[in-house]
Amino acid sequence: MNECTAETTDNSPGRIRQLNEARIMQAAEQVFADAGFRGATTAAIAERAGLPKANVHYYFRTKSELYRAVLDNILKLWLDALHDITADDDPREALTHYIEAKVELSRSQPEASRVFANELIRGAPRLKRYLSNELRDWIDARVPVIQAWIAQGKIAPIDPYFLFFNIWAMTQTYADFQSQCAAVLGRGDKLKPEDYDRASAEIVTTVMRALGLETAPTGARHGGDD
């Protein structure tokens, strides 16, 4: 979420609403990620946000409405990470930007990603229509571009759908399974900023190699462990 504690001289009702909604959403991401939808309460979210419970219900009438707002927010950010692409675009540049943006979202909003992952694990009861419509339309609009890149000889043959599945899996794992990655790397509970930089570089290298595109050696980006 955007920083909502910064000082501001704008005390207009619209600005106050924007700040309070951001504050509540940030708290909701954390509570839903920790407790799940069923275990989360608006009281816990209000406490985490430092606001009265009545304020939470003023902006979000129900827990379900707030939960869906959290999901909608991260989904919009993910989809916006890859703007409209065309067959004339450079695949290396377009996909590198997409991967880097997705990894940055895993770094900046890991709780929101985990809320989404938990929803999918439970069968996506609140997202099935979205997954079958908006998300499917989004990927269907980009598949022809990947196919055009293949036809033009810009990239090696690959199934466009599974290309996206693999990018999603590789980028989101650094949010959904951050504790596992951090433990294996000896980082404690959280990854360091440089770990996300390395993750991004490694994912780009993996994808580019699968597409038959040469990249700089990953060893040059590694450096030593702390």
Neighbour-count burial of 182, counting CB atoms closer than 10 A to its CB (0-12 exposed, 13-18 middle, 19+ buried): middle
Give a yes or no: residue 182 inside a domain: yes
Same domain, 93 and 165: yes
Q: What is the pLDDT of residues 157-174, one digit of tens each?
A: 999 999 999 999 999 999
Same domain, 93 and 118: yes
Q: Encoding tokens for residue 158?
A: 């690959």
Q: Would you say 208 and 116 are in contact if contact means Cβ atoms under 8 Å apart?
A: no
Same domain, 122 and 25: no
Same domain, 194 and 148: yes
Same domain, 203 and 100: yes
Q: What is the pLDDT of residues 196-218, one digit of tens each?
A: 999 999 999 999 999 999 755 44
Q: What is the pLDDT of residues 128-166, one digit of tens each?
A: 999 999 999 999 999 999 999 999 999 999 999 999 999
Tell me the percentage of the chain whose pLDDT exceeds 90.
Answer: 85
Q: Which domain holds residue 81?
A: 68-211
Q: Would you say 111 and 33 are in contact if contact means Cβ atoms under 8 Å apart?
A: yes
- CA 195/CA 192 separation, integer angstroms: 5
Give a yes or no: residue 140 inside a domain: yes
Give a yes or no: residue 217 inside a domain: no
Same domain, 18 and 93: no
pLDDT at 5 (0 to 100): 46
- The total domain count for the chain is 2
Give a yes or no: residue 72 inside a domain: yes
**Helices vs strands, H then E, count in the chain:** 12, 0
225 sits in the region (left: phi over 0; alpha: psi -120 to 50; else beta) called beta
- CA 194/CA 200 separation, integer angstroms: 10
Same domain, 83 and 116: yes
More confident residue, 79 or 9: 79
We report the CATH number of the domain holding residue 51 as 1.10.10.60
pLDDT at 215 (0 to 100): 59
Same domain, 51 and 126: no
Same domain, 56 and 98: no
Radius of gyration (Cα) for the chain, nearest Å? 20
Q: How far is CA 84 from its chain centroid?
A: 18
- CA 109/CA 53 separation, integer angstroms: 24
Mean pLDDT of the chain: 90
Give a yes or no: residue 224 inside a domain: no
Model pTM greater than 0.85?
no
Give the domain-ending residue among 43, 61, 79.
61
Give the domain-ending residue among 36, 61, 86.
61
Same domain, 40 and 88: no
Place of tokens 């997409």: 98
pLDDT at 14 (0 to 100): 83
Amino acid identity, position 147: Q
pLDDT at 83 (0 to 100): 83
Give the domain-ending residue among 5, 37, 61.
61
Give a yes or no: residue 8 inside a domain: no
Average pLDDT over residues 97-113: 95
Residue 180 has pLDDT above 60, yes or no: yes
Average pLDDT over residues 1-13: 55
pLDDT at 192 (0 to 100): 96
CA angle 215, 210, 97 (to 5 degrees): 60
We report the CATH number of the domain holding residue 180 as 1.10.357.10
Same domain, 115 and 41: no
Average pLDDT over residues 40-45: 96
Give a yes or no: residue 225 inside a domain: no
3-state secondary structure of 134: helix
